Each structure stands twice: as structure tokens, then as C-alpha cells.
Amino acid sequence: MSKFPEGFIWGAATAGHQVEGDNVNSDTWFAEHTTPTLFKEPSGKACNSYVLWREDIDLAKSLNFNSYRFSIEWARIQPVEGEFDEKELAHYEAIIDYCLELGLEPIVTLNHFTSPHWFAKLGSWINPVSAELFATYVTKVMQRYGSKLKHVVTLNEPNLPPLLTWVHMPEFVYELTAANLKAASEKAGVDNYRLSNVVRKDEFDAMGDGLEAAHIAARKAIRAAAPNVKLGLSIAIVDDRVVGDDSSLRDRKREEVYGRWLRLAKDDDFIGVQNYESVYYDGEHAIEPGPDVPRNGMGSAIDPTALEGAVRYAYEQAGVPVYVTEHGLSTTDDTQRAAFIKPALDGLQNAIADGVEVLGYTHWSLLDNFEWIFGYGPKFGLFDVNFETFERTAKPSAGVLAEIVKNNAV
């Protein structure tokens, strides 16, 4: 058995909008309830975690974890511009306190795609005032909870839009995106209703610029309000591999999708890596997996070795410790997930043995949940959720991960 470093952070993640339910003051709720909408179905009560959060933390504890990653919903904390809701601040503080009581480090994500409705009405991250607005919220939250936190994630996957340009998307998706935003703008009575998980192709760069500015402003705000907290941003990293000797296409993808974020992370305390897959490129194309290769629910090959590659790449480029803030598998067949976890962690061990600094591993996700535009179809959870009774049931994969965590070894 090879041991993980002492103090290695083990956990699973959730995100507010995907589990809490009734996130009614958020941009995403509004976009879900606009016609036409890109969302397959509305989030509704999600996993009812706004009510059942204690139970969720108990579940994390039951798997021997020493951390729990969740996000704070900005739309709850600041439902109206300029106003903070004391009841909601207390709500998230109770979550943090309960984690600490059970010996779990609360890992807070400050923005996991969703923002307040009022912020979307202003044009979201495309509006130059957005960084300052975000920093005001971050300051409030960090002044309140900073002394109880050790690691904070500012933004979740700000690089998702450029990553999606590398995935073949049918044109109607972009048409529906534009139509959803147009209808939301009309419904809200503004020129440009915008949100970071429904993004027009022609605005990918502007969104990226705004999110980069927001991260820089948040970094400053966190360091001022809570200097002991370690901060980073989380980006989606595919393990991009080359077949043959022409790496030009792969290298171009890396620069377009991760380049600016990995450079930005050089001034952070860690880089959050979120990996779900690998893709092979020759000099001209992405290469489709063979017909016999099992695929995940996202359509790419099931490849547990992808995590190691993504982690090594992030560390080489950013030069700061890596924190695996998400890793998982979209599958309705949990035997695939149960078989996937150990080889992925073997790979992570290889990287650590070669000197890559890795702070911890977070599985996505604790629960089956609301998978954004795809609704409730895809399953990533270690726990199954009955969406009528909200009963949670451990899947066999949860036991596999719990055993590894108990031994701090694979």
C-alpha cells in the first residue's frame, strides 16, 4: 500500500445551485424559467440540501473524509445589490461550524457558476464593474468566516467556455444559448442579461477577461480580510495527449483553454484541478476513442489515468501546489465508478512520488444532483438521491473511496 502525504485533504464536493434547491434570486434560476431556455428542466428543490445540509455533512463524515467542499450562493447572501442578508450569512456560518465540529475542513467556493439575478441584469462578468461587485461580496464573506477557513476557491471553472469550443457542439446549442439570453434580457427589461454558465460564443473572451479581473480582485480582498487563508481558482483540465510527433494542435488547445488561468495561478497559493477525461490529438484532429472503448456519460473514453496527466501539467505550468478540487465520472452504472477511483488515485500517487505537490483530492460529487443544462439525467454522486423523498443512499463506490481514505493509502 502506498501512503498519501500526512495531512492530505480528502473530501467530496457539492455546489449550492446543484443541491440546495429554490435558489430563486440567482441568474440561473431566472434562465431556467425563461422561454426558450437552454436548461432541460428547472432545478426546483434539487437535493433539498438547503434544508438537509446537516445530513449531507454527516454523509461526508461517514466516508472518513476530513473536508467538505461546498459553495456559498452569492444570490442568497446579497439578494439585492448593496444589501446583505444576515439570515443567510448565519446559514452558511452554521454549515462551516458544523463541518468544524465534525472535524471536516470547510472548503468554500465563492462562486460556482451562479450569481445573483441583479448581477446578471448588469451584464454579469462582461460589465467592467463586476470585479468590484464580486470583491464587495468576497470581503463581506471573508470578514465573517475567514478565521474559520484554511482554503478558499474563488471561481469554479472560469475556463469552461473556451474548453467547450474544443468539444464539437451542434450549432443549435449556440442558437438556443443566444435565444435564452435574448429572452432573459427582454423578460428582465435590460439590454444584456448575462450569466457565466450560458455564454454566447462571441462573448467567450469578454467573459474570460471579466472573470480574470474578478479573480484578481477577490485575491486582493481575501488577502486583506483573511491573510491566513490559502486561495486559488479551480479550472477544468482535460488530460490532452498527443498521438504521433505533432503536438501543435494539442499545444494550441492548451494555450487557449488553460494558458491565462495557469499563469494567473502563479500568484495564488494553489491551483484547483478538475478533471473528468483525456483526449488524444494528432496534428489536425481530436481522435475519437475506438468502438470498444467504454465511454462515460459525457461521451468520452472512461480513463482513470487522465487525472495524473492533468495534475502533472497544472503543476509544471503554474508551479504552485495542486489541489484536486473535482474528479469523477458521469455514469449510471456505479460499478464503473467503483472501478475508476483506485486507478485514478494510483496515478495521483505516481505524480506525488515524482515530486508534484498535491494538497488533496475531492471527488465530484457527494450526491447525484442538478447537472446544469442537462437536468437530473447525469449521475456523478457517491450517494444516490431520491428526488421525491430526498432520501440519500450510499453507492458501492462510496465504500471504495471511504476505505482508501481510512488508510490514507491506495
Q: Which of 118, 145, 364, 383 binds ligand BGC (CB under 6 A)?
A: 364
**Nearer residue to ligand BGC within complex by CB, 268 or 352:** 268
Dihedral angle over CA of 62, 64, 67, 68, nearest 10: -30
359 near ligand BGC (CB under 6 A): no
Judged by CB under 6 A, the chain residues 309 through 338 that form the site for ligand BGC are 326
Q: Which helix (H) or strand (E) holds 253?
A: helix 248-254
**Nearer residue to ligand BGC within complex by CB, 352 or 359:** 359
Task: Give me the least distance between CB of 347 and ligand BGC, in Å please.
Answer: 19
Task: Give me the least distance between CB of 257 and ligand BGC, in Å please.
Answer: 13
Pairing outcome for strands 322-327 and 271-275 = parallel
380 near ligand BGC (CB under 6 A): yes
**Nearer residue to ligand BGC within complex by CB, 185 or 369:** 369
Q: In this structure, are residues 208 and 260 in contact, taking their beta carbons and an 8 Å threshold? A: yes
Judged by CB under 6 A, the chain residues 210 through 239 that form the site for ligand BGC are 236
15 near ligand BGC (CB under 6 A): yes
Task: Give me the least distance between CB of 274 and ligand BGC, in Å please.
Answer: 6
Task: Give me the least distance between CB of 29 and ligand BGC, in Å please.
Answer: 16
Q: In this structure, are residues 77 and 137 in contact, taking their beta carbons and an 8 Å threshold? A: yes
Residues 6 or more apart in contact with residue 364 via CB below 8 angstroms? 12, 13, 274, 326, 327, 328, 380
Task: Give me the least distance between CB of 84 and ligand BGC, in Å please.
Answer: 25
**Nearer residue to ligand BGC within complex by CB, 48 or 274:** 274
Integer angstrom CA distances of residue 393 from 31, 298, 381: 31, 24, 10
| Cis before 128? omega within 30 | no
Site string for ligand BGC, 265-304 (x = CB under 6 A): ---------x------------------------------
> What number of H helices and E strands is found in the chain?
15, 13
Judged by CB under 6 A, the chain residues 134 through 163 that form the site for ligand BGC are 156-157
**How many Å is the Cα radius of gyration of the chain?**
20
Angle at 164 between CA 340 and CA 383, to 5 degrees: 35
Interface residues with ligand BGC (CB under 6 A) are: 15, 18, 156-157, 236, 274, 326, 364, 371, 380
